[in-house]
Amino acid sequence: MGTKAGPKVRSVSDALRAFRLRWRGEFRGGITPWSASALLTVALTALPLVVILFGVLGCESEIWGHLVDTVLPIYVANSAILMVGVGGLALVLGLAPAWLVSAYDFPGRRIFEWALVLPLAIPTYIIAYTYAGVFEYDNFLPSTLVALWPGLEVWRIRAAVMSREGAMVMMALVLYPYVYVIARASFLRQSSSVLEMARTLGRGPWDTFFRVALPMSRPAVAGGLTLVLMEVLNDYGAVKYFGVPTFTTGIFRAWFPLNDPISAMRLSGILLLFVFTLIIFERMQRGRARFDDGARGYRPTVRRGLGRKTRWLAAGVCFLPLVLGFLVPVTQLASWAGRGGSEVLDARFGRL
């Protein structure tokens, strides 16, 4: 009995030890519970992609040929134009304030540092809807413009807002914080000794920004721009409200009104090609570059003062995107809530 009990005890202890080793990831492949959960998450995330792949390759659609000949070029063109326009505007609206609040001291800088993120709280379809309301004929702004310039045709301004170019501006006003937040963090991580060296060599403010600070922050800026472009491709509400046909509106149209899920999945597959292209672009831009300066000689950035006129100009540059991207939509929403609040806030509202 004694000789048989020994191996049993050793086998139980070995089993417990093997369990502990598995939990710690010390057996064979080194799979831990964390890596297993990560693999499960990746599998669940990739499942829709697999469904789209089967829809693209494995089924036939009678409507697909018609879509390719008629609306697919329009979807591609509008999506590409929106990406270029929104991306360019978001770079300008995000980089300029990020550099100013990071490198200079001017009135309101501490407030602008956090307030410039607020437009990110406004969805794209909300800013589209509110700006359409701002330029309604009976609203305050059009009435004031007509009073100042009697011959002004307000409907032309409203038509310009309710267009593809207007959608570009609306989306850029609420998506630029992606660039602003990441670029500002990168600028703050840059060593002041590098910037001082550039100034010592005779570089002015513009040269210091474009030839020193911006190239050092290129990986971070590329990451923020990639997020903006993905949001543009993902948007449905703003482009639908403005009547701009893109991939997202085409996917909904193919799936529901046309009742053709196969065409919708094929459009989704083409949209994913755009997304993968953006990811590859971001990786190529980043390469082996670091997102922060880990050098031993790092010194925190010392903000410089500005002249009497330039400091107010810097404050205006930071204030403009905040006004257009946050204060105007919130003011319009508050105006609507004040006019129709008594009709909405009744007993039925509490049951929603």
pLDDT one-digit tens code per residue, 301-342: 778 888 889 999 999 999 999 999 999 999 999 988 887 666
Interval 130-157 mean pLDDT: 83
Q: Is residue 191 part of a domain?
A: yes
* Total domain count, the chain: 1
Band of pLDDT at residue 2, cut at 50, 70 and 90: very low
Phi then psi dihedrals of residue 104, to 5 deg: -130, 160
What pLDDT, on the 0 to 100 scale, is given for residue 129?
A: 95
> Per-residue pLDDT for 8 more than 50?
no
Residue 222 is assigned to a structural domain of this protein: yes
Query: Is 169 a member of any domain?
Result: yes
C-alpha distances (whole Å) from 250 to each of 84, 189, 244 are 20, 43, 10
Task: Select from 86, 180, 129 the least CA-distant residue to 328.
Answer: 129
Which one-letter amino acid corresponds to residue 202?
G
191-243 pLDDT per residue, tens: 676 777 777 777 777 888 888 888 888 888 999 999 999 999 999 999 999 99
Across 83-111, average pLDDT: 95
User: Identity (one letter) of the amino acid at 228?
Assistant: V
Average pLDDT over residues 183-193: 83
In a domain, 247, yes or no: yes
Q: What residues does 105 pair with on adjacent strands?
A: 305
pLDDT in tens, 46-96: 888 787 777 777 677 778 888 999 999 999 999 999 999 999 999 999 999
Domain that holds residue 201: 70-294+303-335
Residue 260 belongs to a domain with what CATH number? Answer: 1.10.3720.10
Token pair belonging to 241: 């409200």
Per the model's pLDDT, the better-predicted residue between 282 and 72 turns out to be 72
